Copies of this chain bind each other. A is one copy, B any other.
Amino acid sequence: MPLKKKPVTGMKDILPREMEIRNYVMNLIKETYGMFGFVNIETPCVEHIENLSSKQGGENEKLIFKIMKRGEKLKLETAQSDADLVDGGLRYDLTVPLSRYYSNNANELPSPFKALQMGNVWRADRPQRGRYRQFMQCDIDILGEPTILAEIELIQATSTLVGKLDFQGFTIRINDRKILKAMAAYSGFPEEAYDEVFIILDKMDKIGLEGVEEELVKAGYEKEKAEKYLELYREVTPDLAGIRYLKEKLTGFLDPKCAEDLETIITSVEAVKTADFKLVFDPTLVRGMSYYTGPIFEISIDGFGGSVGGGGRYDEMIGRFTGQNTPACGFSVGFERIVMLLLEKDYQIPSRKEKKAFLIEKGIAGDALIKVFEEAKAERATGVQVNVVQMKKNRKFQVEQLEKEGYTEIRSFYVEK
């Protein structure tokens, strides 16, 4: 029986053109973070089902591709639920594997451990345009570095990376979860309300200051608190002055070191930046995940909605996974999104090699054939890609096809008459 031709639901075959872009971006990532001392690691795609179901993965745990037990361990007759039938699953992110990797190999790893991971993850999400059930994640993390050296290096390296990608300009927004919390505390919100308050605050760019105030009131919070909260947001500016304003204003609610650190991060990154980007303090930046404990940041490319990367400090998460407290700060680069943007603008890879095709007429043999290979060898030695192929009956069409594939020179070798 012939094969089912299509890939499994929600996954895709990657054609040569996209693959070229993907390889280019992957190499750029490895090279750029490598310059900052990050080392590449890899974990198995399959994880213990217990590790994937540890409740730290949130909604993603519902989307696991589960792997069935094998051999004698598979007992269909006595199985009470599907949990009895599985022992593994495909990883849904790179954080769980990183935590396991770190606790398994800490003795053999540098300290601090600056890790670069690129790998596929799988989520059985409802299939939709542009979102796939297998996709590449690219996570860069510094484990074991409690100071803002981690934040500075991560933002520096990532802005260097994005700068090399030839987008017109980009913006990095930065905030701190401690500032978010202090602003809420100062306004009188109780700690258990923070998550809800931040979800509403996160809509600022869509519904504006008044919208946020309205929604807070609608959600049942006192108008007085909402007003005090929004007053802060009206006063604060997206720069160092804004940070200093909050440091002063939030006295008693915010550790002044937090504001000072944020200032140092911004001035340090600004001082040595290698690309043209804006680094702004954005006190409305929330970054959904509640596991962040300190500075948070997000990169967006001007003219495109949505972010192409983000991250922050999460000093408590690795400890919850491994039982051993470990300061951690990370950046996740939106690999699939960057590839999509480059494909959409028909990006031409700068380092691309010259491509030539040699067409051999049928019947060329012996020394004449060897002469073709010798010429191909000589071209390749100078760095030119040479594709040696049989000449087709419809040579004109063949040439057109090769030109479409980017071959700039097409030479034909005929049998000597």
Contacts and interface: CB of A to CB of B under 8 A. Distances in A.
Contacts of A79: 76
A387 interface: yes
A158 to B, nearest CB: 14
Contacts of A46: 8, 11, 65, 90, 122, 134
Contacts of A105: 13, 15
Nearest to A87: B8
A374 B82 contact: no
Interface stretch (A146-154, A185-193, A200-208): A146-154
Contact of A386 (B5, B36, B68, B74): B36
A152 B36 CA distance: 42
Contacts of A110: 16, 401-402, 405
A350 to B, nearest CB: 16
A30 interface: yes
A41 interface: yes
A99 B134 CA distance: 20
Contacts of A369: 264, 268
Interface stretch (A19-27, A216-224, A247-255): A19-27
Contacts of A15: 41, 105, 108-109
Contact of A16 (B39, B322, B365): B39
A37 B388 contact: yes
Q: Do most interface residues of chain A lie in helix, strand or loop, or is the interface mixed?
A: mixed
Interface in A372-388: 373-374, 376-377, 380, 384-388
A221 to B, nearest CB: 36
Contacts of A3: 48, 50-51, 54, 96, 99-100, 103, 321-322
Nearest to A6: B104
Contact of A88 (B8, B323, B384): B8
B134 A45 contact: yes
A43 B104 CA distance: 30
A23 B30 contact: yes
13 contacts: A3-B96, A4-B51, A11-B46, A13-B41, A13-B43, A67-B90, A68-B68, A110-B401, A114-B387, A264-B366, A271-B374, A272-B376, A272-B377
A214 interface: no
A360 interface: yes
Contacts of A332: none
A146 B229 CA distance: 74
Contacts of A289: none
Interface string A94-115: 0010011101110011111010
Interface string A74-85: 101001011001
A66 interface: yes
B373 A44 contact: no
A381 to B, nearest CB: 8
B37 A386 contact: yes
A353 interface: yes
A300 to B, nearest CB: 24
Contacts of A389: 37, 112, 145, 149
A77 B179 CA distance: 52
Nearest to A52: B3
A12 interface: yes
A267 B368 CA distance: 12
Interface string A277-318: 000000000000000000000000000000000000000000
Nearest to A37: B387
B44 A8 contact: yes
A203 B384 CA distance: 43
B4 A50 contact: yes
Given A13-B104, A35-B353, A67-B90, 14 more contacts: A3-B48, A5-B104, A13-B42, A19-B41, A27-B27, A45-B45, A46-B134, A65-B70, A68-B86, A74-B82, A110-B401, A112-B390, A149-B360, A152-B373
A373 B272 contact: yes
